[in-house]
């Protein structure tokens, strides 16, 4: 270990690591089914843009998925489906590493090591645990509670510097930074970079089509609450037609969307799909009723999402191709992960005789 002092007073990382620390992205999606427009606009679409400027690692986080019960066959199917979604959306499996989390043992290993220096108080603040555990907190699994530590391990295992996600992951990323800082302080080293959240684009929080105050989510019992990436054109049109709105027309002034969550959500979705700001959408549609707007919105959604959904279906019908991508991705991810796990073991003092 290089003992020279880094800028922040901690001992610096070995020189060979410097270039690796420059710009590396890690992000992931849980294979829990019903991939939707929020996952696409809030995350996957941004990754496609970022792949030319960063070294990118995109994971299908199957170990996170099992923090809640999953049917084994469905879990396998959804893992292939998320992989297909990445590729269909335009992520290049040659340029980027695409793999499923459980194939790289380092995620579980680092999660334990980081768990040993994460105070319970930090985990008790996590709002997602409170939401998912609900009223039956005592029956919630340890995995669900430790979920954010595994997420920190995902990112830190590769010493990722940037993490592009939707807004709902912000609190987890702050925790990942805190955990990285705790490790660095404990061992007086600048070993882990503090990962930067990248919450990008016009649709960082896409809301439910049935309730503009709750997030579009894979687990909403109503399929009408979301547009799935695999919905066909008729289904998309029907869901948008049925989407909740209010009786007022679209305002000319974007400020007037305040207090109209459903209208604001549909305008936001249109803007994100058309690469326009909400203000531009309001200028274009101001004074028009929702019937016309919804017709245009469904045409636009179908034109953007239709080809991606069709390509996803085509890819999942070729599981051999998808599995090859995951196998190759796991090999590449493991190369980095094993090296870092060894370094972390050395730092902690875990003997490798």
* Catalytic residue ranges: 132, 215, 218
Query: Comparing C-alpha atoms, which of 11, 7, 3, 9 is closest to residue 191?
Result: 11
The residue of the chain with the least Cβ separation from ligand TYM equals 42
Min CB(193)–ligand TYM separation in Å: 14
Select from 43, 257, 297, 302 the one that contacts ligand TYM (CB under 6 A): 43
Min CB(321)–ligand TYM separation in Å: 23
Q: Rounded to an integer, what distance in angstroms lies between the CA atom of residue 56 and that of residue 46?
A: 12
Q: Which of residues 196-255 bind ligand TYM (CB under 6 A)?
A: 203-206, 215-216
**3-state SS, one letter per residue, for 321-336:** HHHHHHHHHHHHHHHH
Piece of 1-9, 24-32, 232-240, 271-279 that binds ligand TYM (CB under 6 A):
24-32
Q: Rounded to an integer, what distance in angstroms lies between the CA atom of residue 282 and that of residue 287?
A: 9
Select from 84, 151, 267, 281 the one that contacts ligand TYM (CB under 6 A): 151
Select from 12, 61, 91, 322 the one that contacts ligand TYM (CB under 6 A): 61
Burial class (CB in 10 A: 0-12, 13-18, 19+), 260: middle
Q: Which of residues 152-191 bind ligand TYM (CB under 6 A)?
A: 154-155, 163, 165-166, 168-169, 172
Residue among 215 and 328 whose Cβ is closer to ligand TYM: 215
Min CB(183)–ligand TYM separation in Å: 17
Residue among 167 and 252 whose Cβ is closer to ligand TYM: 167
Residue among 28 and 329 whose Cβ is closer to ligand TYM: 28
Query: Comparing C-alpha atoms, which of 236, 287, 302, 290 is closest to residue 265?
Result: 290
Measured CA angle at 17 (ends 15, 18), to 5 deg:
70
**Residues found in the chain:** 353
Q: Rounded to an integer, what distance in angstroms lies between the CA atom of residue 282 and that of residue 267?
A: 8
Min CB(203)–ligand TYM separation in Å: 6
Neighbours of 280 (CB within 10 A): 15
| CA 220 to chain centroid | 18
Min CB(116)–ligand TYM separation in Å: 19
Measured CA angle at 30 (ends 26, 32), to 5 deg:
170
- Contacts with ligand TYM, residue ranges (CB under 6 A): 26-30, 38-39, 42-43, 61, 64, 151, 154-155, 163, 165-166, 168-169, 172, 203-206, 215-216
């Amino acid at each position: 270990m290089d003992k020279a002092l880094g800028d922040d007073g901690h001992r610096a990382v070995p020189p060979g690591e410097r270039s690796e620390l420059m710009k590396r992205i890690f992000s992931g999606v849980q294979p829990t089914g019903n991939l939707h427009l929020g996952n696409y606009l809030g995350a996957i679409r941004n990754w496609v843009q970022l792949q030319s400027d960063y070294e990118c690692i995109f994971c299908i986080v199957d170990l996170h998925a099992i923090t809640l019960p999953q049917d084994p066959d469905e879990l396998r199917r959804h893992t292939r489906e998320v992989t297909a979604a990445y590729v269909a959306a335009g992520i290049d499996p040659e340029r980027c590493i695409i793999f499923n989390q459980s194939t790289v043992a380092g995620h579980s290993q680092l999660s334990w090591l980081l768990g040993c220096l994460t105070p319970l108080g930090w985990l008790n603040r996590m709002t997602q645990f409170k939401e998912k555990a609900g009223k039956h907190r005592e029956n919630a699994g340890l995995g669900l509670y430790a979920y954010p530590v595994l997420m920190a391990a995902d990112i830190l295992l590769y010493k990722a510097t940037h993490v592009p996600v939707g807004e709902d992951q912000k609190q987890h990323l702050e925790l990942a930074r805190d955990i990285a800082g705790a490790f660095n302080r404990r061992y007086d080293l600048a070993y882990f970079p503090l990962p930067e959240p990248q919450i990008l684009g016009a649709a960082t929080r896409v809301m439910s089509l049935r309730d503009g105050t709750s997030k579009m989510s894979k687990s909403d019992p109503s399929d009408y609450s979301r547009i799935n990436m695999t919905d066909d054109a008729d289904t998309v049109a029907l869901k948008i037609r049925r989407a909740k709105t209010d009786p007022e027309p679209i305002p000319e002034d974007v400020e007037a969307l305040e207090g109209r969550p459903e209208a604001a959500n549909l305008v936001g979705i249109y803007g994100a799909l058309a690469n326009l700001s909400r203000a531009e959408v309001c200028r274009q549609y101001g004074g028009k009723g929702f019937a016309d707007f919804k017709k245009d919105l469904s045409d636009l959604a179908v034109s953007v999402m239709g080809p991606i959904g069709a390509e996803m279906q085509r890819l999942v019908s070729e599981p051999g191709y998808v599995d090859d991508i995951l196998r190759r991705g796991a090999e590449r991810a493991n190369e980095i992960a094993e090296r870092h796990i060894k370094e972390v073991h050395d730092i902690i003092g875990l003997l490798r005789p």
